[in-house]
Amino acid sequence: MKWIRLSLWSFVLLIASLAPIARAQISSYGVTKTGYYMQRSDAAPELVGGENHYFDAFVYPDGTTDIDSAIFQTPGGVQREMAPSLFYFAGFSSQSALDSSFGNGTYSIQITTVDLDVFFAQLSLAGAYPSVPRLSNFVAAQAINAGKDFTLQWDPFAGGTANDFILVSIEDDAANTVFGTPDYGNAGALTGQDTSVVIPTGTLAPGTNYSCYFTFYKFVALDTSSIPGAFGYAAYVRETTVPLKTASSGAPLNVSLAAFNRQPDGSFQLQITGTAGATFTVEATSDFNTWASVVTTNPPSGSFSFTDADAAGMTRRFYRAKVN
């Protein structure tokens, strides 16, 4: 199918002729540029090998009718068919290679339904990529207690706003999705200002490996008017894959007082070590009858230091640590 080139007047007339159509049979459409990363430790994620940057163009019908064809045109005038899957993608080994083939600028989209309805839209893809997602409690996420809620924490989306979007999903080794945050526009969806999400108790199985996907969307164009009832967007995206592991069912949780000493000001410093990702509580007493909690924490590495300032001036002070 040839791309239809319209003059300004013919375009106006065409829009006028389409005006009686109350709603298109299209749910969403868009163009994106995405970089893919892998985080293997607590360090910064790295680009995956091979093709790690992709250009995508897509059209999603709403299920009420079939789309006969979908075409997009790059800022340089190159036309690409999205049929029959209504999805086009191209992979590259670097961001510069991607940008060379699919530059910044205005992308035009033409969609034709089997009912011969024709829709047009334009999206400006120009801006910058979001920061690379990084799981900040990586160590703790390698020994998750499946019998308790677990909070995934990530570095802030640099420059992220309430209009940007974060998607978190977890898959098992069979590629079954076991957890996912809501899609954009739905209640509870994560924005560019969120930095954590809770995995509810029982979501993950004990002694199991998972893959977690953190995806940051930086929207640079949003369009809800060009195609009635459809949502269009242009975005720069970065996605990081992170391995997650759960502890085996019944595996013991350990804790110990590794070191302790009195400070010059009379306070007492303790070094606690134990199972990574577990929650530790340190209690103190002076008579072995009444114990008071002095700190509760969940260190990602399973090791932490604590200084008890209340010990200053006391002649004796006893401590115990517990883990759960």
pLDDT digits over 203-248, tens only?
A: 999 889 999 999 999 999 999 999 888 899 999 999 999 999 998 7
Tokens of 311: 């010990």
Q: Which of 57, 50, 47, 123 is nearest to 90 (CA)?
A: 57
Tell me the one-letter amino acid at 81.
E
Q: Are 279 and 296 in contact (CB under 8 A)?
A: yes
Q: 229 — phi, psi (to 5°)? A: 80, -5
Mapping DSSP to helix (H, G, I), strand (E, B) and coil, where does residue 314 land? coil
Range among 121-125, 136-140, 320-324 rated most confident:
121-125
pLDDT digits over 168-193, tens only?
A: 999 998 899 999 999 998 999 999 99
CA angle 76, 77, 78 (to 5 degrees): 100
Q: DSSP letter at 309?
A: G
Q: DSSP letter at 130?
A: P
pLDDT digits over 271-317, tens only?
A: 888 877 677 888 888 888 888 888 888 776 778 888 888 888 787 88
Report percent pLDDT > 90 for the chain: 54
Tell me how far apart the alpha carbons of residues 310 and 318 are, in angstroms, rounded to a whole number: 12
Rounded to the nearest integer, the mean pLDDT of the chain is: 86
Its sign, for the CA torsion 155, 160, 163, 165, is: negative
Q: How confident is the model at residue 72 (pLDDT cuts 50, 70, 90)?
A: very high
Q: How confident is the model at residue 65 (pLDDT cuts 50, 70, 90)?
A: low
The pLDDT of residue 277 is 66
Residue 63 C-alpha from the chain's centroid: 27
pTM of the model: 0.72
Given a cut of 90, whether residue 77 has pLDDT beyond it is yes
